[in-house]
Each structure stands twice: as C-alpha cells, then as structure tokens.
Amino acid sequence: MAVASKLGRGYSGDGFRSSFQRLRVRLESDGKIDSRLTFHGLPHTVTTKLADAGGDAETIAAVTGHKSVAMVKHYTESHDKKKLAHAAIKLINTD
C-alpha cells in the first residue's frame, strides 16, 4: 500500500517518515499533540480506531497493509479485552 505525496506520487518509507517527523514537531510545538505520538504508533492507532468502528481483522489488515491477521490481532488484543471488560461492567450495572 502506498501513501501519495502532494504531487500524487508514492512516498518512499524514508520520505514518509521524514514528512511525519516534520509534521509531528510542528503539531507538538503548536500544542496540538504531545511527545507520545510516534511513527511506530501510527499502525497501532489506526488499527485501534478501525477496531473501535467495528472493523474485523481482515478488513483492518487490508487498510493497514499488515501481511497477517495474526499481527492485527496482536495490535487489537488489549483493545478487545478492554471492550469486553466495559461490556461486562454494563451487564453488572443493569441490575
């Protein structure tokens, strides 16, 4: 999967990483994000957002470019447990 630049051409991995870092520094200095945002965190964030929206592992893998559903499940495992815990608490609170 390729991400297009402003010119409509695909970024190289290094080019995308450089653009991301420049944007991250600008947004952090503007107070819009904090220092916890990392390049490596992008796939995790996208995976979590798609899982929140109800995406299944195969759909998420198609979007994120993960080669295996197992890796998607790795990224969503803690999120899935949290969702199940919230659902369980709702069941308890319906008394």
Q: Are residues 66 and 30 in the same domain?
A: no
* Count of the separate structural domains present in the chain: 2
Q: Are residues 29 and 14 in the same domain?
A: yes
List of residues 6+ apart from 5 with CB closer than 8 A: 11, 15, 19
Decide: 57 and 73 in contact? Cβ < 8 Å. yes
pLDDT at 59: 92
What is the pTM assigned to this prediction? 0.58
Q: Are residues 31 and 44 in the same domain?
A: no
pLDDT at 3: 65
pLDDT tens for each residue of the chain, 95 residues long: 456 777 777 777 788 888 889 999 999 999 988 888 888 888 888 888 898 888 999 999 998 888 889 989 888 887 778 888 888 998 998 76
pLDDT at 2: 59
Q: What single string gives the DSSP state of each residue in the chain?
A: ---B-TTSPBPPHHHHHHHHHHHHHHHHHTTSS-TT--TTHHHHHHHHHHHHTT--HHHHHHHH--S-HHHHHHHHHHHHHHHHHHHHHHHHTT-
Q: What residue numbers bound the domain in which 60 lies?
A: 40-95
Q: Are residues 90 and 47 in the same domain?
A: yes
Q: Are residues 22 and 55 in the same domain?
A: no
Q: Are residues 47 and 71 in the same domain?
A: yes
